[in-house]
Amino acid sequence: MTHSVVTADCAAPLSEVGALMRDRNVGSVVICEHGHPVGVITDRDLALAVVADGVDSESSVGGHATRPLVTGEAQMELEEAVALMVQHHIRRLPVLDGHELAGIVTIDDLAVRAGDLELAQHITAEVAKAALPEFFFHQRGG
């Protein structure tokens, strides 16, 4: 788990969140409302909203974040985190300790934490397959 989570308020403009991702070198930001995590926005979400859909980059991020937020608990086992990510088709899992944001687990964290190359490849494939089914079941570039 990565303990330092990049967050932004739901009222922040998309441009500010994009700059935050660039400056902090992250691919996602946990979106908070009144200090509590409520959603996640990824670099891909920003690209699709602003570039592909032509959304004003000064629009608030809250309306473009993935909700409801699926979270894990700080005490959960690795297998539980993997199961949640596969079940919900997500590549990032914010982790709570009680009601406080304690960190975030990503697909990369899971692969490294497994410590077993074959297991890491299996975890990565399962989460990626669940998160990106069209990649595995449709021809790309078509």
Q: What are phi and psi of 93, to 5 degrees?
A: -130, 100
Confidence grade of residue 1 (pLDDT, cut at 50, 70, 90): confident
Q: What pLDDT, in 10s, does the model give residues 51-100? A: 888 889 999 999 999 889 999 999 998 889 888 988 888 889 999 999 89
C-alpha distances in Å from residue 116, one per residue of 80, 120, 128: 17, 6, 18
> Between 4 and 125, whose confidence is greater?
4
CB contact set of 78 (below 8 Å; sequence gap of 6+): 110, 113, 114
How far, in Å, CA of 40 to CA of 60, rounded?
Answer: 13
> Between 129 and 7, whose confidence is greater?
7
Q: What pLDDT, in 10s, does the model give residues 24-50? A: 999 999 999 998 999 999 998 998 888
> Between 133 and 15, whose confidence is greater?
15
How far, in Å, CA of 95 to CA of 104, rounded?
Answer: 5
Q: At what angle do helices 107-114 and 117-131 cross, to 10 degrees?
A: 160
Confidence grade of residue 132 (pLDDT, cut at 50, 70, 90): low
Q: What is the pLDDT of residue 25?
A: 95
